[in-house]
Copies of this chain bind each other. A is one copy, B any other.
Amino acid sequence: MTRMRLVNLDDIHQASHRIRGVTLHTPLLRATWAEERSPLFLKPESLQPTGAFKLRGATNKVASLTEAERDAGIVAHSSGNHAQAVAHAARSHGARSVIVMPDTAPTVKLEATKRLGAEVVLVPASEQATRSAELAAEHGYTIVPPYDDPFVIAGQGTVGLEVVGDLPDVATVLVPVSGGGLISGVVAAVKEQHPAARVIGVEPEVAGDAAESLRRGERVVWPSELTNRTMADGLRAEGVGQLTWEHIRRYVDDIVTVTEDQIREAMRVLARGSRLVAEASGAVTTAAYLFHGEDLRLQGDTVAVLSGGNVDPQQFAEVLAS
């Protein structure tokens, strides 16, 4: 196997310059409800214009293209936060975007993506990747992958850059894991600046393929029948990517899992205690703080990356009222 080049701090610094003005440097919010002996800070990526960290990676990728590539257009496939991120990134660089979405995607997500100026192509869920590759081949579009790409990873890494810049003594960073783009970028940014800090991934128990991969030392992929059991729809990717796996096995200290009930409780705590709307995928790190604090032996300052806030309002209301 060819040794892949990992994303480094320099790539992430460049990404940080490229995305400035499009994405938000999110504040670190001290959680006043947290235990005093184990301070917690939230990194609310839910406050990004599209409601999730995905905008960082997509913007870095689009900004890194040549003018000719941008003129030719951009294609991506996603039913979730990546769709809006790519549409927004493309528009902010004056590029055309085509987003391939599953024909089962909720109307609100379709509309949100169209409102950002993207052309939406609907296909059966299983044909998304094929169709987006076909469109790229036919029209010369550049594909913006959701996670397994060095520019996407470097963009997500700016989350880690901001964390260390704002809280240089951070002891532990908790990061949601799905395809692995976010944790790969964050861990590269954190470990290259501050090797003693721990970076710990968090997954739903019922979609715990990355945790199993790290435990076994090899990349394991769970089928979507299993990963689809979690309410955290942003964390259902079928296994981490190849490039992201290289970052995870090289750098990540541990990956822990949380139950669906723990995720719900974390969503309630974030709304009540920190006035934040978190989607389930974004709440897993707070769940890990609440329910794994002791096994993780959290000491010093902990940061929980709240990756996004695009939750169905009805689902959110039900979680709050329960």
Contacts and interface: CB of A to CB of B under 8 A. Distances in A.
Interface residues of A, number: 32
A236 interface: no
Interface of A is mostly: mixed
B310 A316 contact: no
Contacts of A268: 313
Interface string A261-300: 0000000100110111110000000000000000000000
B316 A271 contact: yes
Given A51-B275, A310-B275, A27 B29 contact: no
Interface string A111-151: 00000100000000000000000000000000000000000
A26 B313 CA distance: 25
B24 A309 contact: no
Interface in A1-60: 24-27, 29-30, 32, 44, 46-47, 49-51
Contacts of A24: 27, 29
Copies of this chain assembled into the complex: 2
Contact of A313 (B271, B310, B314): B271
Interface of A: 24-27, 29-30, 32, 44, 46-47, 49-51, 88, 116, 268, 271-272, 274-278, 309-310, 313-314, 316-318, 320-321
29 contacts: A24-B27, A24-B29, A26-B27, A27-B47, A29-B47, A29-B49, A30-B49, A32-B49, A44-B47, A46-B275, A47-B274, A47-B275, A271-B277, A271-B313, A271-B316, A272-B313, A275-B276, A275-B278, A275-B309, A275-B310, A276-B276, A276-B277, A313-B320, A314-B320, A314-B321, A317-B317, A317-B318, A320-B320, A321-B321
